[in-house]
Amino acid sequence: MLEHGAAPPAGDSDPRPPSAGGLATRLMRRKPVERLVSEGGQGQGGTLRRSMGMWQLTMISIGATLGTGIFVVLGEAVPDAGPAVILAFVLAGVTALFSALSYAELAGSIPVSGSSYSYAYATLGELVAWVCGWCLVLEYGVSVAAVAVGWGEYLNELLGGVFGFTIPEALSQPPGDGGVFNLPALLVVLLAMVFLLGGAKESARANTIMVVVKIAALLLFCGVAIQGVRSGNYANFFPMGMAGVSAAGATLFFSYIGFDAASTAGEEAKDPQRDLPRAIMLSLVIVTALYCLVAAIAVGAMPWQKFEGSEAALAGIMKTVTGQSWWAVLLAFGAVVAIASVVLTVLYGQTRILFAMSRDGLVPKVFSKVHPKSGAPRANTVIVSLFCGVLAAAVPLGELADATSIGTLFAFALVNVAVIVLRRTRPDMPRSFRTPLSPLFPAIGFLLCLYMMGSLGAVTWVVFGVWMAVGLVVYFGYGLRRSRLATAEK
């Protein structure tokens, strides 16, 4: 449903002038679509550079997605669902699909770096946009830390297989998981930071290479591990019932957050109206197919009860099936590259979202400063990287993954609502992609997100509530008064 060559419309997207009236009116002020698009790429002291085509955008989404659920979170999800973890991946993928359709429509219509934050600002008002942006900080920033935690597991597999030594547990696990400080997690975040400081084009090139390596590693796993598949491992397919599938699906939804990463590159894409929707949909199809294939072979090759507490499950399966450690070493190398790619691309997305929020005045101006030579928001990148690196070194993986899932689901729910609202308020606005059967599909996407959120545990909801409360304090103490829409009213 692509309309080639569609461009953002001219004119005012909101006929009502912003009002300096009551608090409720100020909280609901919207930013016109045309203003969002016209400000694209503009930062403090420089501009972002349009250097990425559809291939690079697709690789960004795959890079941000593929690897997390298989290489790291699989060991967390299998004990919840048993062999039915395959269906949990399907459930999470279908939930992501409905939201991906909405993302594709909005990314083609509002091709800016803010992703769902900007979409909410144009349709649902400033307060909702802030809440969405705050969720994206949780989704992207914290997921960088969560993925980096698992990187150390595979790094130790690689070091042990090649050199015969591993990093001591005290320096490879966070507090609470038997360690003092997770040094590898910090190092992989800092490595991603170095790539990002070089600029978007250079980062995209490095990411493409890493994506090819990790797809090859997963296909290698499938080719070898299928020899160890035993039908008996599928016998008790639903040991925890559908409740277990739902719980595992909610955790595994964390694995799909990357498909929207391309939408954060809207201001650095050569032809965003055409390429962003295609990249989002293509990446989701590729990732879902690989996830389901690898999960099916993994639970067939090893009894599901043995996945408990394993963050490097695939390497262990390879070693068990072949009886030779060098296969596991090859997979560990692929996992090290794969997870580094996720860290790189998700960290990229986080910096671009904060870039957009800073340009709107809702967070400090330092996040929208662009280096004139590299075209990258360097200060933003350094600040975010240090925060995520320290978080990765100090917080256990499980709590991070679930907290990220709930923030992701909430942001996706708002994107589905934004599509419905924009269809009603701007029905004639050109769209390079249209969500099929709207408003039915966006409504289904919204309800599925709520259902998945309800499957998460009470502790995760408490963490989310505290995070939202902190976000509201920041907004009312800083963003409400410093918003560029607010200053324009004075």
Mention every residue, 6+ apart, whose C-beta is less than 8 A from residue 437. none
Residue 466: is its pLDDT beyond 60? yes
Instruction: Calculate what percentage of the chain has a pLDDT beyond 70.
Output: 90
Average pLDDT over residues 386-394: 86
The per-residue DSSP string of 3-56 comes to -TT--PPPS-S--SPP--S-HHHHHT----HHHHHHTTTEEBTEE----B-HHH
Round to whole Å and give the CA distance between 259 and 264: 10
Phi, psi (rounded to 5 degrees) for 240: -110, 5
From residue 339, give the alpha-carbon distance in Å to each of 8, 93, 257, 306. 36, 20, 14, 23
- DSSP H helical ranges for 376-439: 378-394, 397-425
pTM: 0.83
Residue 213: is its pLDDT beyond 70? yes
pLDDT tens column, 108-165: 888 888 888 989 998 999 999 999 999 888 877 777 877 787 787 778 878 887 888 7
8 vs 63, higher pLDDT: 63
pLDDT tens column, 220-279: 889 989 998 998 889 888 888 888 888 888 778 767 877 888 888 888 888 888 899 999
Alpha carbon of residue 34 to chain centroid:
26
Q: Residue 481's pLDDT band (boundaries 50, 70, 90)? A: confident
Q: Residue 430's pLDDT band (boundaries 50, 70, 90)? A: confident
Q: Are 67 and 214 in contact (CB under 8 A)?
A: yes
Average pLDDT over residues 367-388: 88
Q: Residue 309's pLDDT band (boundaries 50, 70, 90)? A: low
